[in-house]
Amino acid sequence: QGHLAREFLTMQQQAGADALFEDFARLDFRGFFGALEAAGFNGLSSSPFSSYIFRSHCEECDAARGVNRCSFRRALGRLLVARGVFRAACAEGGGGESVLSFSSFPELLHQVLVRVAREEDAVGFDQLLEGDEYQKLVFQDFAAAERNRLSEVECGAMCLVFTAIADAYTTGARERRGLGLSRHDYGRALQRLGLGDVERVFHGQLVDGVFERLDIDRTSNISLPEFWLGAARLMHPVEHGRRLKCLPSWPGWPEFRDAEDLARRITSLCTGDVVLTSHEEHPVVRYLQFALDTPWNHAAVVVRRCPLSGVANQKTHDLLRRCPFRFKRHRFCTPGYCRCFDEEPGDFFWSKLHGTGDVMLLECTGEGVHVYDLVQRLFEAPAGHYSAIAVRRLGKAAGRDDRELVRIFLEKVRGSLYSTDEFELREAIAFEQNRAPAPQPEILDIECRSHFCSELVAEFFEHMGWLSPDRSPRSVMPGDFAGVGAGPCGHPVQLLSGRASFEPVEVVWSRELGIPLPSGCPPKK
């Protein structure tokens, strides 16, 4: 029987292999936050900023490339700074508490920033935040809402977020030699943070609107303090959630827990009631919400069912030949998808909730203009990452029961395309921000037009004789249907006196209701 020789690495070989492994090894999301926990920094993976923190420490800010040893050590160093400043502030405050109130926050923030950025930038941020309003906004970005106190973990997240924003800013502003970010290059800095390329999102129509919100001092350049404030708002738009929670109907309908009660609530909706939704996941949504400073970024309208005739998709084929770039996203009318040409009476075939088949939703998305079964579209189909759904009912609405009048409009717009005009959304945002007059009314016949979501709802109101003639449908954004509480940039929709009136916004569903979407049919009593 032979003997196997045992082989050994020399100490030099082992050290070389270990060094190469450390140089080339990379941490993914789970490994990065696991390693931070092993170093004594717990809880950061559950921060609402965690994905941005991870990405900012990856090579070239690319999440697929992971975090190397050097970047990990840099994160540890920054967290040690935050921990030291936080604990010093707690000791100075006395009382032995491990959380800080708002009264201690401005000084804490300044001490963090002077240790991770230039003194002049920290002072500039202090000046930008002068007064309680902006200071409270930044505090609310990071402090948990339920306790209104800043913890050590949240302070650490804040430090990593502000250094990530500063790094992205420095990379974007390098070519301008201290002049700040311009309208033409600020998008690259946002992209490094993982917020999406604003120049490519929606054909660049949001570039001006987002820039105007970032450029607080109106110098046509974005300073680092301005970028700190704006980018943090884009990452975690906490103020929008707070506005929603102030609505008296928050967090939504309790009837979601019982099928019969929910069906009765849904069938109380009438033609003309506006459905508002808040999404959070897509870059288009984030930038649109930020530009208009409103939680609502999509609108549709309830229509009660009426008989529809015609040949499905005949118009759509002609429109797509003229605008072939819409082929990829547009959905053709089919019986299993929409009710644009559905002549079957009763409930929609795919819906699990019975007795609601007469309540439909007229909606314009990237998939085009369609008439949907409301229950199936909002609650049962694969969710569109809603964070909240609301309805703003019409109180008195003349002609809402005129099925022939409704039918005429639906047959004209169904199968139409989502916006094909590269300027119309940009013009509407400029009007919302008071930078330009209202866009001129569309001159094409409505059957040939493209639409965006809130424009379609306003066109329906115009057709029904409810919309004030002073307002062009092309100037209406989703938040305008929510009234004065939609946000500071809004221009609330005005209805013709004696023809229609709005009731208060009513929250239908939110994540805090505790019922996930898409949902199955709730149990019967």
Q: Cα–Cα distance between 92 and 102 in angstroms, integer?
A: 15
Q: In one letter, which amino acid is 61?
A: C
Secondary structure E strands in 287-385: 298-304, 359-365, 368-373
What pLDDT is attached to residue 128? 79
Q: Cα–Cα distance between 267 and 277 in angstroms, integer?
A: 19
Instruction: Assess whether the previous peptide bond of 518 is cis (omega < 30° from 0).
Output: yes
Angle at 523 between CA 521 and CA 524, to 5 degrees: 115
Instruction: Assess whether the previous peptide bond of 251 is cis (omega < 30° from 0).
Output: yes
pTM (two decimals): 0.87
Q: Cα–Cα distance between 447 and 315 in angstroms, integer?
A: 9
What pLDDT is attached to residue 127? 82
How big is the chain by its Cα radius of gyration, in Å? 27
190 closest CA partner among 128, 233, 139: 233
Report the residue count for the chain. Answer: 525
What is the fold, at CATH topology level, of the domain defined by 25-236? Answer: Recoverin; domain 1 (1.10.238)
101-129 burial code (b ≥16 CB/10 A, e <16): eeebbbebbbbbbbebbeeebbebbbebb
Q: What are the boundaries of each domain within the chain?
A: 25-236, 239-431+447-513
- The tens-digit pLDDT sequence of the chain (525 residues) is 455 555 556 777 677 776 776 777 899 999 999 999 999 999 999 999 999 999 999 999 999 999 998 899 999 999 999 999 999 999 886 656 688 999 899 889 889 988 888 778 888 888 877 766 778 888 888 988 667 899 999 999 999 999 999 999 988 776 556 678 998 889 989 999 988 888 887 778 888 999 999 998 899 999 888 999 899 989 988 888 888 998 989 999 998 888 899 999 999 999 999 999 998 767 778 888 898 889 999 999 999 999 898 888 989 999 999 999 898 899 999 988 999 998 888 899 888 899 999 999 999 999 999 999 999 999 998 756 788 999 999 998 999 999 999 999 999 999 999 988 877 888 888 888 888 887 777 777 888 889 999 999 999 999 999 999 989 999 999 999 998 666 666 789 999 999 999 999 999 999 999 888 887 656 555
Tokens matching residue 401: 């029961």
